[in-house]
């Protein structure tokens, strides 16, 4: 991904099949190139031994999902603060969300 941005989940389904205006298509093509470059970097790291096979398959699938979102126009770019060490991740919020999804309290000594 480009420095300063990251892909998010599918947020917007309001784009037409024709691909929207030329500015939007230019953005999509640029994002597709970034995804491809990122995938190439992951492949190189795999060959160098820096990425395990299971992580390679996960990251490849994630890239394909991102590419599909870009192709369909169902994406949203967000600002990404590289100085934020936890990336905005709040353990309490994540635990509460997982408890809600699992419909049971978290395991452990809490």
Inside any domain, residue 109:
no
Paired with 78 in beta bridges are 6
Alpha carbon distance 60, 54 (integer Å) = 10
Inside any domain, residue 110:
no
For the chain, how many structural domains are there in total? Answer: 1
Q: How many CB atoms lie within 10 A of CB 35?
A: 20
Inside any domain, residue 65:
yes
Average pLDDT, the chain: 77
Model confidence over 25-67: pLDDT tens digits?
Answer: 999 999 999 999 999 999 999 999 999 999 999 999 999 999 9
* pTM of the model as a whole: 0.53
Report the Cα–Cα distance between both ends of the chain, in Å, rounded. 37
Q: What is the mean pLDDT of residues 65-82?
A: 83
Domain limits for position 38: 5-102
Inside any domain, residue 108:
no
Inside any domain, residue 61:
yes
Inside any domain, residue 35:
yes
**Spatial contact of 24 and 72, defined as CB atoms under 8 Å apart:** no
Inside any domain, residue 107:
no
Alpha carbon distance 57, 37 (integer Å) = 16
């Amino acid at each position: 991904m480009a420095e300063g941005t990251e892909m998010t989940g599918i947020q917007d389904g309001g784009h037409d099949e024709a691909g929207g205006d030329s500015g939007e298509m230019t953005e999509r093509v640029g994002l597709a190139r970034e995804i491809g470059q990122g995938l190439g970097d992951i492949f190189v790291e795999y060959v160098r031994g820096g990425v395990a096979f299971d992580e390679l398959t996960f990251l490849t699938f994630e890239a394909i999902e991102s590419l599909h979102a870009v192709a369909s126009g169902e994406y949203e770019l967000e600002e990404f603060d590289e100085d934020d060490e936890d990336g905005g991740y709040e353990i309490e919020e994540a635990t509460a969300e997982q408890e809600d999804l699992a419909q049971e309290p978290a395991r452990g000594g809490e």
